[in-house]
Amino acid sequence: MTIVTGTGPVQAAVAASYAIAEYKPDVIISAGSAGSFGRFGIGDIISFSSVISPDNDLTRFHLPKGSVLRPDRSTASVMPLRGASGYILSSSAAFESGANRTIGDVMPDAADMEAYGVAMACSFSSIPCFAIKMITDIIGENLRIGDYSSRLRAMRSALPEIIEKELMLL
């Protein structure tokens, strides 16, 4: 089953929560595009091990940047994912500029706009979550819309095979 979430962590969290409630999946995959901070090249497909959100800023309460308060009063910062790569994804509601990629003491490898919302919804429901992303741009470099559109088409054809391989490892 495929659910299109729309752009951003809020839309992704709402769509993932709906999918969890309605379809009771065994696993959820946040698949899509990401920008690289330089570690990966255009067209690389990565399964990330964790995701963090720079949008979460509770430093006034002496919590590390990226932390959230959970309903049970525990805190979460870096959300674990099922990938075993060791790579960290930054997930924000805004396009990443690359100006300051460190979040607290965490140095992410790439950035997207949906994975954190999906991971949070999965965390609340104890459902395994993958974030599998194709690198479509290098953060900080100028990107023409036509080039980005072409890369998104390539992503749509390449991702299903990679996702299938990841699921076979379960």
Which tens digit of pLDDT belongs to each residue from 47-102? 999 999 999 999 999 988 888 888 888 888 899 999 888 999 999 998 887 766 78
In a domain, 141, yes or no: yes
Tell me the CATH number at 138.
Answer: 3.40.50.1580
| pLDDT surpasses 80 at 168 | no
pLDDT reported for residue 110: 96
Q: How far apart are CA 70 and CA 74, in angstroms?
A: 5
Q: How many domains does the chain have?
A: 1
Greater confidence, 168 or 81?
81
| pLDDT surpasses 90 at 123 | yes
In a domain, 2, yes or no: no
In a domain, 3, yes or no: no
Which tens digit of pLDDT belongs to each residue from 131-158? 999 999 999 888 888 887 888 888 788 7
Contacts of 45 (CB under 8 A, 6+ apart): 132, 133, 134, 135, 158, 159, 162
The range of the structural domain enclosing residue 127 comes to: 9-168
Q: How far apart are CA 13 and CA 84, in angstroms?
A: 23
Mean pLDDT score across all residues of the chain:
89
Q: Which amino acid is located at 20 in the chain?
A: I
Which has the closest alpha carbon to 113: 28, 9, 3, 5? 9
| pLDDT surpasses 80 at 108 | yes
In a domain, 57, yes or no: yes
In a domain, 69, yes or no: yes
Residue 34, classed as helix, strand or coil, is strand
Q: Are 66 and 78 in contact (CB under 8 A)?
A: yes
Residue 170's pLDDT band (boundaries 50, 70, 90)?
Answer: low
In a domain, 70, yes or no: yes
In a domain, 1, yes or no: no
pLDDT reported for residue 162: 77
CA end-to-end distance (rounded Å), the chain? 18
In a domain, 42, yes or no: yes
Which tens digit of pLDDT belongs to each residue from 28-39? 999 999 999 999
pLDDT reported for residue 100: 67
